[in-house]
Amino acid sequence: MGKFWPMSSPFVTRLGPLVGAHPYHRPMPGSTTAAGAWFTLRRRTTIYPPEPAGRPGICAVCRGPARPGYARCYQCGQHDLLGRGLLADAVVPISYAVKGTAFAVSLWRYKSWRSPDPAARTALLTLLLTFLHDHGRCVWRHAGMPAPGRLAVVPTGCGRPGPHPLLAMAGPYLRLPRTGLAIRPGEQGRDPNPDRFIAERSGPGAVLLLDDSWVSGASAQSAAAALRRAGARHVAVVVLGRHVDPADRLSAPLAARLAPSGYDPDRCAVHTTVPDPSGS
Ligand SMILES: [Zn+2]
Ligand SMILES: [Zn+2]
Protein backbone atom coordinates (compact mmCIF):
# COMPACT_ATOMS: atom_id res chain seq x y z
CA MET A 1 0.00 0.00 0.00
CA GLY A 2 2.71 2.42 0.98
CA LYS A 3 4.28 1.81 -2.38
CA PHE A 4 1.43 3.61 -4.11
CA TRP A 5 0.30 5.84 -1.28
CA PRO A 6 3.49 7.42 0.01
CA MET A 7 3.23 8.32 3.65
CA SER A 8 4.09 11.90 2.78
CA SER A 9 0.98 12.09 0.61
CA PRO A 10 -2.02 13.92 2.00
CA PHE A 11 -4.11 11.19 0.38
CA VAL A 12 -3.20 8.76 3.13
CA THR A 13 -5.38 10.53 5.59
CA ARG A 14 -7.82 12.12 3.21
CA LEU A 15 -8.37 9.12 1.00
CA GLY A 16 -7.94 6.51 3.64
CA PRO A 17 -11.49 6.57 4.90
CA LEU A 18 -12.92 6.60 1.42
CA VAL A 19 -12.48 3.01 0.52
CA GLY A 20 -14.51 1.58 3.36
CA ALA A 21 -17.85 2.93 2.28
CA HIS A 22 -18.90 0.21 -0.11
CA PRO A 23 -19.21 -3.53 0.40
CA TYR A 24 -16.67 -4.44 -2.25
CA HIS A 25 -14.08 -2.00 -1.01
CA ARG A 26 -11.64 -3.18 1.58
CA PRO A 27 -11.35 -0.61 4.36
CA MET A 28 -7.94 0.82 4.97
CA PRO A 29 -6.62 0.81 8.52
CA GLY A 30 -8.27 3.54 10.53
CA SER A 31 -11.20 3.87 8.15
CA THR A 32 -14.17 5.85 9.33
CA THR A 33 -17.28 7.09 7.62
CA ALA A 34 -16.41 8.90 4.51
CA ALA A 35 -19.01 11.07 2.81
CA GLY A 36 -16.90 14.19 3.17
CA ALA A 37 -13.80 12.42 2.00
CA TRP A 38 -15.54 11.08 -1.11
CA PHE A 39 -16.60 14.63 -1.83
CA THR A 40 -12.98 15.73 -1.64
CA LEU A 41 -11.97 12.93 -3.95
CA ARG A 42 -14.50 13.77 -6.61
CA ARG A 43 -13.39 17.37 -6.67
CA ARG A 44 -9.84 16.25 -7.43
CA THR A 45 -10.88 14.25 -10.45
CA THR A 46 -11.06 15.44 -14.03
CA ILE A 47 -12.30 13.34 -16.92
CA TYR A 48 -13.50 13.57 -20.50
CA PRO A 49 -17.07 12.35 -19.94
CA PRO A 50 -18.31 9.63 -22.31
CA GLU A 51 -20.99 10.68 -24.74
CA PRO A 52 -24.37 8.97 -24.48
CA ALA A 53 -24.88 5.73 -26.36
CA GLY A 54 -27.88 7.00 -28.31
CA ARG A 55 -26.09 9.97 -29.86
CA PRO A 56 -25.66 9.70 -33.65
CA GLY A 57 -22.07 8.86 -34.55
CA ILE A 58 -21.35 7.32 -31.16
CA CYS A 59 -20.82 3.59 -30.74
CA ALA A 60 -23.44 2.10 -28.44
CA VAL A 61 -20.86 -0.28 -26.96
CA CYS A 62 -17.56 1.58 -26.50
CA ARG A 63 -18.63 5.23 -27.10
CA GLY A 64 -16.01 5.65 -29.80
CA PRO A 65 -16.84 7.16 -33.18
CA ALA A 66 -19.26 5.20 -35.35
CA ARG A 67 -19.97 5.79 -39.02
CA PRO A 68 -23.16 7.66 -39.84
CA GLY A 69 -26.13 5.35 -39.67
CA TYR A 70 -24.37 2.68 -37.62
CA ALA A 71 -25.14 1.95 -33.98
CA ARG A 72 -21.71 0.46 -33.31
CA CYS A 73 -18.19 1.30 -34.44
CA TYR A 74 -16.48 -0.94 -36.95
CA GLN A 75 -14.35 -2.66 -34.29
CA CYS A 76 -17.24 -3.45 -31.99
CA GLY A 77 -19.04 -4.95 -35.00
CA GLN A 78 -15.99 -7.14 -35.60
CA HIS A 79 -16.18 -8.47 -32.04
CA ASP A 80 -19.20 -10.53 -33.09
CA LEU A 81 -16.62 -12.81 -34.71
CA LEU A 82 -15.67 -13.98 -31.22
CA GLY A 83 -18.83 -16.01 -31.12
CA ARG A 84 -22.33 -15.93 -29.86
CA GLY A 85 -22.77 -15.21 -26.18
CA LEU A 86 -19.08 -14.59 -25.52
CA LEU A 87 -18.99 -10.78 -25.49
CA ALA A 88 -19.09 -8.67 -22.35
CA ASP A 89 -22.57 -7.83 -21.05
CA ALA A 90 -21.53 -4.23 -20.64
CA VAL A 91 -18.61 -2.02 -21.62
CA VAL A 92 -18.37 1.12 -19.52
CA PRO A 93 -15.65 3.68 -20.22
CA ILE A 94 -15.08 6.08 -17.35
CA SER A 95 -13.53 8.74 -19.57
CA TYR A 96 -12.22 9.32 -23.05
CA ALA A 97 -8.45 9.28 -23.39
CA VAL A 98 -7.78 11.84 -26.09
CA LYS A 99 -4.35 11.28 -27.54
CA GLY A 100 -1.89 13.93 -26.38
CA THR A 101 -3.85 15.02 -23.30
CA ALA A 102 -2.49 14.68 -19.79
CA PHE A 103 -5.09 12.04 -19.00
CA ALA A 104 -4.04 9.86 -21.94
CA VAL A 105 -0.39 10.30 -20.98
CA SER A 106 -1.14 9.22 -17.41
CA LEU A 107 -2.58 5.96 -18.73
CA TRP A 108 0.81 4.82 -19.92
CA ARG A 109 2.96 6.67 -17.38
CA TYR A 110 1.31 4.89 -14.46
CA LYS A 111 2.59 1.57 -15.76
CA SER A 112 5.95 2.64 -17.14
CA TRP A 113 8.24 -0.33 -16.82
CA ARG A 114 11.28 1.70 -15.73
CA SER A 115 9.72 4.49 -13.69
CA PRO A 116 6.01 4.33 -12.98
CA ASP A 117 4.70 7.81 -12.28
CA PRO A 118 3.36 8.04 -8.69
CA ALA A 119 1.15 11.03 -9.53
CA ALA A 120 -0.45 9.15 -12.41
CA ARG A 121 -1.02 6.13 -10.17
CA THR A 122 -2.65 8.24 -7.49
CA ALA A 123 -4.89 10.03 -9.99
CA LEU A 124 -6.00 6.84 -11.75
CA LEU A 125 -6.55 4.90 -8.55
CA THR A 126 -8.60 7.80 -7.20
CA LEU A 127 -10.67 7.87 -10.36
CA LEU A 128 -11.26 4.13 -10.45
CA LEU A 129 -12.27 3.78 -6.81
CA THR A 130 -14.49 6.84 -6.93
CA PHE A 131 -16.18 5.60 -10.07
CA LEU A 132 -16.81 2.12 -8.67
CA HIS A 133 -18.15 3.66 -5.48
CA ASP A 134 -20.51 6.01 -7.29
CA HIS A 135 -21.41 4.04 -10.40
CA GLY A 136 -20.67 0.39 -9.78
CA ARG A 137 -24.36 -0.28 -9.39
CA CYS A 138 -25.08 1.50 -12.71
CA VAL A 139 -22.63 -0.89 -14.36
CA TRP A 140 -24.10 -4.04 -12.83
CA ARG A 141 -27.61 -2.89 -13.71
CA HIS A 142 -26.64 -2.13 -17.29
CA ALA A 143 -24.99 -5.56 -17.57
CA GLY A 144 -28.10 -7.24 -16.14
CA MET A 145 -26.02 -8.90 -13.46
CA PRO A 146 -25.69 -9.00 -9.70
CA ALA A 147 -22.74 -7.29 -8.04
CA PRO A 148 -19.60 -9.06 -9.24
CA GLY A 149 -18.09 -11.85 -7.20
CA ARG A 150 -14.74 -11.84 -8.99
CA LEU A 151 -12.20 -9.37 -10.34
CA ALA A 152 -10.10 -9.81 -13.48
CA VAL A 153 -7.80 -7.53 -15.46
CA VAL A 154 -7.17 -7.66 -19.21
CA PRO A 155 -3.53 -8.81 -19.58
CA THR A 156 -1.05 -6.45 -21.22
CA GLY A 157 -0.18 -7.23 -24.80
CA CYS A 158 3.54 -7.43 -24.16
CA GLY A 159 3.24 -10.27 -21.70
CA ARG A 160 5.32 -8.53 -19.02
CA PRO A 161 5.92 -10.71 -15.99
CA GLY A 162 4.32 -10.14 -12.60
CA PRO A 163 0.88 -8.82 -11.76
CA HIS A 164 -0.74 -6.35 -14.13
CA PRO A 165 0.04 -2.78 -13.01
CA LEU A 166 -3.68 -2.02 -12.76
CA LEU A 167 -4.25 -5.04 -10.55
CA ALA A 168 -1.22 -4.22 -8.42
CA MET A 169 -2.54 -0.69 -7.99
CA ALA A 170 -6.25 -1.27 -7.41
CA GLY A 171 -6.41 -4.86 -6.24
CA PRO A 172 -5.55 -4.12 -2.60
CA TYR A 173 -8.53 -1.76 -2.39
CA LEU A 174 -11.13 -4.01 -3.98
CA ARG A 175 -12.64 -6.73 -1.87
CA LEU A 176 -13.00 -9.23 -4.69
CA PRO A 177 -11.15 -12.50 -5.31
CA ARG A 178 -9.17 -12.51 -8.55
CA THR A 179 -9.74 -14.64 -11.58
CA GLY A 180 -6.45 -15.08 -13.41
CA LEU A 181 -6.15 -14.33 -17.11
CA ALA A 182 -3.04 -15.08 -19.14
CA ILE A 183 -2.04 -14.89 -22.79
CA ARG A 184 -2.09 -18.32 -24.38
CA PRO A 185 1.39 -18.98 -25.79
CA GLY A 186 1.52 -18.22 -29.50
CA GLU A 187 -1.79 -16.34 -29.51
CA GLN A 188 -0.56 -12.75 -29.18
CA GLY A 189 -2.20 -10.45 -31.68
CA ARG A 190 -4.53 -7.56 -32.12
CA ASP A 191 -7.60 -9.22 -33.59
CA PRO A 192 -10.57 -10.45 -31.57
CA ASN A 193 -9.66 -14.01 -30.68
CA PRO A 194 -11.48 -16.21 -28.16
CA ASP A 195 -8.31 -18.32 -27.83
CA ARG A 196 -5.96 -15.44 -27.05
CA PHE A 197 -6.36 -15.72 -23.29
CA ILE A 198 -6.72 -18.54 -20.80
CA ALA A 199 -8.97 -17.78 -17.84
CA GLU A 200 -8.87 -19.47 -14.51
CA ARG A 201 -12.02 -21.50 -13.91
CA SER A 202 -13.80 -19.89 -10.99
CA GLY A 203 -17.48 -20.71 -11.03
CA PRO A 204 -20.52 -19.31 -12.77
CA GLY A 205 -20.60 -15.88 -11.13
CA ALA A 206 -20.32 -12.33 -12.41
CA VAL A 207 -16.90 -10.86 -13.15
CA LEU A 208 -15.73 -7.25 -13.09
CA LEU A 209 -13.15 -7.03 -15.86
CA LEU A 210 -10.91 -3.96 -15.67
CA ASP A 211 -8.73 -2.42 -18.34
CA ASP A 212 -6.81 0.81 -18.46
CA SER A 213 -7.25 1.65 -22.14
CA TRP A 214 -9.68 0.69 -24.88
CA VAL A 215 -8.35 1.17 -28.40
CA SER A 216 -10.09 -1.41 -30.59
CA GLY A 217 -11.52 -3.34 -27.65
CA ALA A 218 -10.24 -6.60 -29.13
CA SER A 219 -8.21 -7.45 -26.03
CA ALA A 220 -11.01 -6.72 -23.56
CA GLN A 221 -13.62 -8.62 -25.56
CA SER A 222 -11.22 -11.55 -26.12
CA ALA A 223 -10.65 -11.60 -22.36
CA ALA A 224 -14.41 -11.50 -21.75
CA ALA A 225 -14.78 -14.46 -24.12
CA ALA A 226 -12.11 -16.39 -22.22
CA LEU A 227 -13.87 -15.70 -18.91
CA ARG A 228 -17.18 -16.86 -20.32
CA ARG A 229 -15.64 -20.00 -21.72
CA ALA A 230 -14.24 -20.66 -18.26
CA GLY A 231 -17.76 -20.49 -16.85
CA ALA A 232 -18.47 -16.84 -15.99
CA ARG A 233 -22.14 -16.09 -16.42
CA HIS A 234 -21.71 -12.32 -16.62
CA VAL A 235 -18.82 -10.05 -17.50
CA ALA A 236 -18.84 -6.26 -17.09
CA VAL A 237 -15.90 -4.32 -18.52
CA VAL A 238 -14.92 -1.05 -16.86
CA VAL A 239 -12.20 0.84 -18.71
CA LEU A 240 -10.43 3.95 -17.51
CA GLY A 241 -9.91 5.58 -20.89
CA ARG A 242 -11.54 5.04 -24.28
CA HIS A 243 -8.78 6.06 -26.72
CA VAL A 244 -9.58 8.84 -29.19
CA ASP A 245 -7.04 10.00 -31.76
CA PRO A 246 -7.79 13.51 -33.07
CA ALA A 247 -5.68 12.74 -36.17
CA ASP A 248 -8.05 9.95 -37.15
CA ARG A 249 -10.59 11.23 -39.68
CA LEU A 250 -13.55 9.49 -38.09
CA SER A 251 -12.49 10.47 -34.55
CA ALA A 252 -11.73 14.13 -35.26
CA PRO A 253 -15.27 15.51 -34.80
CA LEU A 254 -15.62 13.68 -31.49
CA ALA A 255 -12.17 14.77 -30.32
CA ALA A 256 -12.95 18.37 -31.26
CA ARG A 257 -15.97 18.59 -28.98
CA LEU A 258 -14.47 16.78 -25.99
CA ALA A 259 -13.33 18.90 -23.10
CA PRO A 260 -12.00 18.07 -19.66
CA SER A 261 -14.64 18.30 -17.04
CA GLY A 262 -14.95 17.89 -13.31
CA TYR A 263 -16.05 14.43 -12.34
CA ASP A 264 -19.83 14.34 -11.89
CA PRO A 265 -21.18 11.74 -9.44
CA ASP A 266 -24.60 11.99 -11.10
CA ARG A 267 -23.42 11.01 -14.52
CA CYS A 268 -21.66 8.04 -16.10
CA ALA A 269 -21.63 6.29 -19.48
CA VAL A 270 -24.64 4.16 -18.57
CA HIS A 271 -26.35 6.76 -16.43
CA THR A 272 -27.29 9.27 -19.09
CA THR A 273 -28.90 8.18 -22.33
CA VAL A 274 -30.37 10.02 -25.26
CA PRO A 275 -33.41 8.49 -26.99
CA ASP A 276 -32.55 6.85 -30.29
CA PRO A 277 -34.12 9.10 -32.97
CA SER A 278 -34.74 6.06 -35.20
CA GLY A 279 -36.84 4.57 -32.40
CA SER A 280 -35.01 1.22 -32.66
ZN1 LIG B 1 -17.39 0.51 -30.39
ZN1 LIG C 1 -23.85 5.93 -13.10
Does some domain include residue 1? no
**Proximal ligand: closest to the CA of 63:** 1
Does some domain include residue 241? yes
CA of 56 to the centre of ligand 2 (A): 21
Per-residue pLDDT of the chain (280 residues; tens, 9 = 90+): 333 333 233 333 333 333 333 444 554 444 455 677 788 778 778 899 999 988 999 999 999 999 999 999 999 999 998 888 999 999 999 999 999 999 999 999 999 888 899 999 999 999 999 999 999 999 999 999 999 999 999 998 766 777 899 999 998 899 899 999 999 988 877 889 999 999 999 889 999 999 999 999 999 999 999 999 999 999 999 999 999 999 999 999 999 999 999 888 889 999 855 554 554 4
3-state SS assignment for residue 219: helix
CA of 16 to the centre of ligand 1 (A): 36
SS3 content of the chain, % helix, strand, coil (to 5): 30, 15, 50
CA of 251 to the centre of ligand 2 (A): 25
Number of domains in the chain: 1
**Proximal ligand: closest to the CA of 273:** 2
CA of 280 to the centre of ligand 2 (A): 23
CA of 82 to the centre of ligand 1 (A): 15
Does some domain include residue 43? no
**Are the C-beta atoms of residues 214 and 93 closer than 8 Å to each other?**
yes
CATH assignment at residue 228: 3.40.50
CA 247 to centroid of chain Cα atoms: 24
Does some domain include residue 73? no
Does some domain include residue 278? no
Phi-psi region of 260 (alpha: psi -120 to 50; beta: other; left: phi over 0): beta
Spell out where 22-89 has E strands: 46-47
Does some domain include residue 183? yes
CA of 31 to the centre of ligand 1 (A): 39
Provide the domain limits for residue 238.
81-262
CA of 126 to the centre of ligand 1 (A): 26
Does some domain include residue 76? no
Does some domain include residue 74? no
**Proximal ligand: closest to the CA of 272:** 2
